[in-house]
Amino acid sequence: MAGVTDRPFRELCRKMGAGLAVSEMLSSNPKVWHTEKSMNRMNHEGESGIRSVQIAGSEPELMAQAAQLNVQNGAQIIDINMGCPAKKVNKKLAGSALLQDPALVARILKAVVGAVDVPVTLKIRTGWDAENRNGIEIAHIAQESGIQSLAIHGRTRSCMFKGEVEYDTIKAIKQQITIPVIANGDITNEDDAKRILEYTQADGIMIGRAAQGNPWIFKQIQHFLETGERLARPCVTEQANVLLTHVDGLYDLYGEYSGIRIARKHVGWYVTQHDENRGFRREFNALESAVEQTQALRDYFSLLQAKSDDFSHVA
């Protein structure tokens, strides 16, 4: 979720019911720590809730140093990424590429756990490919290394985000280790959450892509699991308020030039259900100022509200 789960988005997800929002992935390479991108990702100023910072890399010593730096910067949990399938990450033998080398996995985990006094968690996939599914082996290594909880995306790296999720593997891992297990993969609504929790007996669920443009999914799932009742999707006015708050946070964190560009993808996710022919998105993506973007969003959602009111009168 690099490029998505920045501070404004994490803050919004927490307000919408997310129990824990993990930061964007940070490289363990100290050469990039002082770039603008990394500095923004390390910025936790004013952030509420528990601050969990995710790091990625392939060298135990550098991973330990990255963990220490982020704890100094306010991290209360260090999360290690061994699940990212992106080529640019894997070619550096980081992310899910590490699953090919269990011995190196063990060295990295022990180095990081030993370097900091805060809890260390781990995110993995079920293996590198169908012929090398070693999620259970990695889970045992994680527990023995002092990892406090394990999140599992139920696909191999070669599957990327396609095909069926291996909930059987998540269930098997949960049965074999005692640390908390978090299930991840294709959880898009309340029914998915309930079914997967009951089947895997996982201690929690992790939602990624389904929250893009839909941060209220956390509140909807939590309410359903606690009461069995479904919350309606927010009205058009609430959707507009949430989105305007989100883009304001982007302008504040990144400045106007970068903020308006980053806002484009988020707005695209929010309006997908309303903007079937992508007309508004094309117009919005051509705007070059925060004032123009904000006014365009206000006008667009006012039009949606008017249409909604007209429809209710007809009904």
Chain-centre distance of CA 42, in angstroms?
16
Query: How many residues does the structure list for the chain?
Result: 315
3-state helix, strand and coil shares in percent for the chain, rounded to the nearest 5: 55, 10, 35
The 8-class DSSP code of residue 93 comes to T
Rounded to an integer, what distance in angstroms lies between the CA atom of residue 1 and that of residue 18?
15
Q: Which residue has the tokens 């990295």?
A: 108
Rounded to an integer, what distance in angstroms lies between the CA atom of residue 296 and that of residue 247?
12
Rounded to an integer, what distance in angstroms lies between the CA atom of residue 87 and that of residue 85?
6
| Nearest partner of 121 among 146, 153, 94, judged by Cα | 146
Which one is catalytic: 13, 84, 159, 235?
Answer: 84
* HEC string for 224-273: HHHHCCCCCCCCHHHHHHHHHHHHHHHHHHHHHHHHHHHHHHHHHHHCCC
Residue 3 zone, left/alpha/beta (φ > 0; ψ -120 to 50; rest): left
CA angle 211, 217, 219 (to 5 degrees): 135
84 is catalytic: yes
User: 206: burial class by Cβ within 10 Å (0-12, 13-18, 19+)?
Assistant: middle
DSSP string, 149-190: -EEEESS-TTTTT-S---HHHHHHHHHH--S-EEEESS--SH
Task: Give the residue numbers annotated as catalytic, written as ranges.
Answer: 84
